[in-house]
Structure 1
Amino acid sequence: MHRLPLPEAEAALGDELSTVRPDLSAAYAAGLPGARAAVLTRLWRALAHEPLPWIARRERGREGLTLHLADGRRLHGPHADPYATSAYVTELRLDERAYDRPDRLVTALAVPHASGFATELGHSVASLALSRAQPGLSGGEPAASWEWEQRVVDGHPYHPNCRSRPGFSVAEQLAYGPEHRPVVELGLVPVDDCLVRGEWPKWLRDEDRVLIPVHPWQAAHVLDRGHQEGFSAHPLMSLRTLALPDGPHVKTALSARLTSSVRDISVYSIETSATVSEFAEEIAARTDGLLHVTRTLGAVSAHSPALAAVLREAPDLYARAGERVVPVAALAATGLPQAPGWTARFARLALTVGLRLLDLGVALEAHGQNLLVVLSAEGEPLRLVYRDLADIRVSPLRLARHGIAAPRMSGRIVTDDATTLRRKLFGSLVAGALGATVGSAAALREDLGSAVDDLPRTADLAALLEEPLPTKALTLMRLEPGTPGDSWACLPNPFTGRAS
């Protein structure tokens, strides 16, 4: 292994940290090797399974996996478990040289757009080490769902850009990142000409003007207008969505690229928010009480994706006495005690709800951030809560088969394409939320096997059991930034082992 100076992003963050929070410097430096391995493991998953055009073929042997590149080079690493969440890759070997730093490996690969992606990976490693540098949480079990969210330190379980926050200084990461447990002071921008959907509350109005909550990072770096003092809130996993103390959640526009996407709020999302919310509430009522959807209370936009906000219910409203609501992403990240067979019972609940809605004509983007589980006092999974309806998909054809009127809307949410609908649900729920919860292909196979026995035998279930499992090709999308829409990869099916 070649021992080189720290990459630019790691060194730059360390230098800034020594000024802003010198008490964290030692923990940050100690955390860098683990952060590199965590990002390198995510990167290896992508290289092993995504349809990257510069990989000619993949060769699996007794000693691991070898990728034969189109230019004749070979990249070698361990066998790649597509559902593993532990950081098991500490180095990869490109021909005769070993790399333990993902940004330097991508730079050496020298494929199209490698330079920009390498920069993002460097930020991801540095920010992840910073996230892990904070002192551990003290006290008992969280009382509110937002407190569970702040215990998710490592971000996206499979994206190499799990902690990439370009444009954020160290001080801003500490001030706004949920894993650092800050209280964020939101500003309010008064707007005269505003698109409003739903009921925008009086406390967010100034006579005839609408007051739009704005994230302080957005106010400092993007908006060219003044704002007034707003209110305090707790940041959630998405960073740009925050929980008001004992109140609703507010989704703000954040024109920064986190993982794959710039997190502003499209005018389309605001225009359709009330219609989609009412429709989702109606559909959730058909799950025999197994699913609740957090209602969108109001949504506003200054006719710009950079200045908009959405108010929605807190998921905690759907917990009864003695119950608690936990984001699925927090299940594995926090080490929540679970009885034997718990993950299989949770998988049965999630698949029952997801496949039932898919059959009706609604595909949820049920990844670990959008999906929450209601637990009994003993920790048993009882019901689900789903939030953030902006990226669901709705099939008018499927709805009509069940005698359900389709919502009056058009645009990206509406599709009758079975592949698109299944990708949306299977990629987020099975390849994402369930895979990350159990943490390995073997465990996923075991839990899904026992979970599907009593499910209705629909064409969607047959596709889940028999076809390769779709997942977003997150690295391919970063290496082909000019390609619109999502790109997809096929993972080995936990039931059959089929990969293509």
Structure 2
Amino acid sequence: MYPPSAAVTEVAGELAALRPGLVPGFSAALPGARVAVLTRLWRALAHEPLPWVERREPSGDGVTLRLRDGRALYGPAADPYATHAYATTVELDGRPYDDPARLLAALGVPHGDGFAAELAHSTASLALSRAAQSEHPDTAPAHDWEWEQRVVDGHPYHPNCRARPGFSVAEQFGYGPEHRPLVRLGLVPVPASAALVSGTWPDALRDGSRLLVPVHPWQAAHVLKRRYDEQRPAHPLMSLRTLALPTGPHVKTALSARLTSSVRDISVPSVTSSAALSAFAERLAARTDGLLHTTRTLGAVTDGTPELAAVLRESPQVYAGQGERVVPVAALPLTGLPDAPGWLVGFARLALTVGLRLLELGVAMEAHGQNLLVVLDAQDVPVRLVYRDLADIRVSPARLARHGIEVPELPELPARILTDDEDTLRRKLFGSLVAGTLAATAGSGAALGAVLDTVVDDLPRTPDSAALREGPLPAKALTLMRLTPDRKGDLWAELPNPLK
């Protein structure tokens, strides 16, 4: 309908020079990528509390959004929990748009130009990711990191599901997990006297009086602007900045690039608190009757800046017993298991039991598809959960005190994760686990509602489970957050409760 965007033209040009054989596949993947990103954007327009939307009203088979400036947007009925792409066009005052970036540019909303550029990049990168799958054999994963590299489309609900601004096509092939590369991390020496260390930094990453800090090659080239002599091969995981070392541990690197919503640096407070937070989470997990493991932080280091830092933690695979396997929740749809009769109900019961029990004790997990993994037994029954990356949990001192649990003192825990606000705690868990993990695994509001209807009444009756039953379902307002760059922290949407 329109000429290609600058992002599409740029990616196509680089691809033609780098891998000309993939150009036809990239072109063929573009229409589907546009629909996928437009569907995610339309979900946000139809459900997030955008200040320039006056009201929303049913209209024929779809919904009309009345804008404050008098214009109208019309699109298909928007299931906020659907993961299939269905928004082929959206009309603005009767003019159809099939390109999400052009639609947002036409809306002319504050801060929309930058976000429109990200949407164009997300579309182009998604088409590139899909096209490149023809180069990879469709074999069963043999390692834990291979499951992560099977997730091609990125975030199931964020319009920036594959946006990687600042990455060339060669860098996407070289570092993107869905392209299955072997990344060579640089080792940057830092004098031990000038480093901040939490936990135990391993001898294998020491050189006399210097600590060797793993650095992502993109970070070294674009931010630190320095070379390094030593390297370590590693397999990139879903978050792109976290990689699996061949020896087993995972390393989280600083990556000063905007991926989906955030710039992925590692803050200095998160390094200094990582060992205490890891030990605290391990004590809390012990109260779940063996249903939850948290991957332990082995060591963290920084030179005092967020641009040069790294965290080493256990691989989730260490929590798999004989005949078991560990699968990231984001990869579950690829296994086919959610379609098996009763499987999704069993998984939802396990996840909600663990999540609500921890919330009652005083910890709200951010249990999205990257952070949460499930242990499957030899018959693929979900038996336990593994949770990793504690940086964004929320901890309630008041709830912990009610259960006689000691709270580590500041600065062992960062002040930003401490809160007794009930809405904040519930939003953190319900927004990630229910509106994110379970919804994306179910694939639609109808499927999610059926699962919750079967499971929720069996859960212990607490104020938190009552809030899950009775209120709207919170979800991060991901598009509103991108269009409100002057606001820090999470912004929220209230989605229709599928239980109702």
Contact 1:338 1:379 in 2 (8 A): no
Q: After superposition, what is the alpha-carbon deviation per residue over 1:353-403, rounded to whole angstroms, capped at 9, x for unaligned?
A: 000000000000000000000001111111000000011111110001101
SS of equivalent residue, structure 2 residue 156: coil
Return the alpha-carbon distance in structure 2 between the equivalents of residues 69 and 489 of structure 1. Answer: 18
Return the alpha-carbon distance in structure 2 between the equivalents of residues 473 and 271 of structure 1. Answer: 30
Q: 1:353 to 1:337 in 2, by over 3 A?
A: closer
SS of equivalent residue, structure 2 residue 133: coil
Return the alpha-carbon distance in structure 1 between the equivalents of residues 170 and 407 of structure 2. Answer: 47
Q: After superposition, what is the alpha-carbon deviation per residue over 1:168-224, rounded to whole angstroms, capped at 9, x for unaligned?
A: 000000000000000000000101111000010001111111110000000010004
Return the alpha-carbon distance in structure 2 between the equivalents of residues 44 and 458 of structure 1. Answer: 35
Return the alpha-carbon distance in structure 2 between the equivalents of residues 482 and 362 of structure 1. Answer: 28
Return the alpha-carbon distance in structure 2 between the equivalents of residues 139 and 56 of structure 1. Answer: 48
SS of equivalent residue, structure 1 residue 60: strand
Q: What is the CA-CA distance between 1:335 and the residue it aligns to?
A: 3.5
Return the alpha-carbon distance in structure 1 between the equivalents of residues 139 and 213 of structure 2. Answer: 35
Return the alpha-carbon distance in structure 1 between the equivalents of residues 335 and 322 of structure 2. Answer: 23
Q: 1:122 to 1:333 in 2, by over 3 A?
A: farther
Return the alpha-carbon distance in structure 1 between the equivalents of residues 356 and 261 of structure 2. Answer: 27
Q: What is the CA-CA distance between 1:337 and the residue it aligns to?
A: 6.9
Contact 1:151 1:334 in 2 (8 A): no
Return the alpha-carbon distance in structure 1 between the equivalents of residues 143 and 263 of structure 2. Answer: 28
Q: Once the two structures are aligned, what percentage of the paired residues are identical?
A: 69
* Counterpart for residue 97 of structure 1: 95
* Counterpart for residue 407 of structure 1: 408
The one-letter code matched in structure 2 to 1:479 is L
Unmatched segments (≥5 aa) in structure 2? none
Q: After superposition, what is the alpha-carbon deviation per residue over 1:393-423, rounded to whole angstroms, capped at 9, x for unaligned?
A: 1111000110110122241111111111101
The root-mean-square deviation of aligned C-alpha atoms, in Å, is 1.0
Q: What is the CA-CA distance between 1:139 and the residue it aligns to?
A: 5.0
Which runs of structure 1 show a deviation greater than 3 angstroms over 4 or more consecutive aligned residues?
333-338
SS of equivalent residue, structure 1 residue 368: coil
SS of equivalent residue, structure 1 residue 130: helix
1:12 is aligned to 2:25: no
Q: What is the CA-CA distance between 1:484 and the residue it aligns to?
A: 1.2
Unmatched segments (≥5 aa) in structure 1? none
SS of equivalent residue, structure 1 residue 133: helix
* Counterpart for residue 191 of structure 1: 190
Q: What is the CA-CA distance between 1:342 and the residue it aligns to?
A: 0.5
* Counterpart for residue 441 of structure 1: 445
Q: After superposition, what is the alpha-carbon deviation per residue over 1:411-451, rounded to whole angstroms, capped at 9, x for unaligned?
A: 11111111111011000000000000001000000001111
Contact 1:143 1:324 in 2 (8 A): no
Contact 1:152 1:334 in 2 (8 A): no
SS of equivalent residue, structure 2 residue 14: helix
What is the aligned counterpart of 2:468 among 461, 464, 468?
Answer: 464
Contact 2:58 2:64 in 1 (8 A): yes
* Counterpart for residue 262 of structure 1: 263
Give the structure-2-normalised TM-score. Answer: 0.97
The one-letter code matched in structure 2 to 1:181 is R
Return the alpha-carbon distance in structure 1 between the equivalents of residues 424 and 246 of structure 2. Answer: 38
Return the alpha-carbon distance in structure 2 between the equivalents of residues 488 and 130 of structure 1. Answer: 31
The one-letter code matched in structure 1 to 2:65 is L
Contact 2:338 2:441 in 1 (8 A): no
* Counterpart for residue 289 of structure 2: 288
* Counterpart for residue 130 of structure 1: 128
Q: After superposition, what is the alpha-carbon deviation per residue over 1:24-73, rounded to whole angstroms, capped at 9, x for unaligned?
A: 11110000000000000000110001000000000113321000000110
The one-letter code matched in structure 2 to 1:76 is Y
Q: How does 1:87-236 map to 2 (within 5 A)?
A: 87-136=85-134, 137-138=136-137, 140-192=139-191, 193-236=194-237
Q: 1:116 to 1:139 in 2, by over 3 A?
A: closer
Contact 2:221 2:227 in 1 (8 A): no
Return the alpha-carbon distance in structure 2 between the equivalents of residues 405 and 452 of structure 1. Answer: 30
* Counterpart for residue 427 of structure 1: 431
* Counterpart for residue 478 of structure 2: 474
Contact 2:456 2:469 in 1 (8 A): no
1:74 is aligned to 2:75: no
The one-letter code matched in structure 2 to 1:247 is G
Q: What is the CA-CA distance between 1:336 and the residue it aligns to?
A: 4.4
SS of equivalent residue, structure 1 residue 452: helix
Q: After superposition, what is the alpha-carbon deviation per residue over 1:144-179, rounded to whole angstroms, capped at 9, x for unaligned?
A: 221000000000000000000000000000000000
Q: What is the CA-CA distance between 1:339 and the residue it aligns to?
A: 2.7
Return the alpha-carbon distance in structure 2 between the equivalents of residues 405 and 210 of structure 1. Answer: 33
Q: What is the CA-CA distance between 1:338 and the residue it aligns to?
A: 4.9
Q: How does 1:288-367 map to 2 (within 5 A)?
A: 288-336=289-337, 338-367=339-368
Give the structure-1-normalised TM-score. Answer: 0.97
Contact 2:37 2:100 in 1 (8 A): yes
Return the alpha-carbon distance in structure 2 between the equivalents of residues 224 and 338 of structure 1. Answer: 48
Return the alpha-carbon distance in structure 1 between the equivalents of residues 243 and 404 of structure 2. Answer: 37
Contact 1:374 1:383 in 2 (8 A): yes
Q: 1:316 to 1:14 in 2, by over 3 A?
A: same
The one-letter code matched in structure 2 to 1:432 is G
SS of equivalent residue, structure 1 residue 189: strand
The one-letter code matched in structure 1 to 2:42 is W
Contact 1:298 1:310 in 2 (8 A): yes
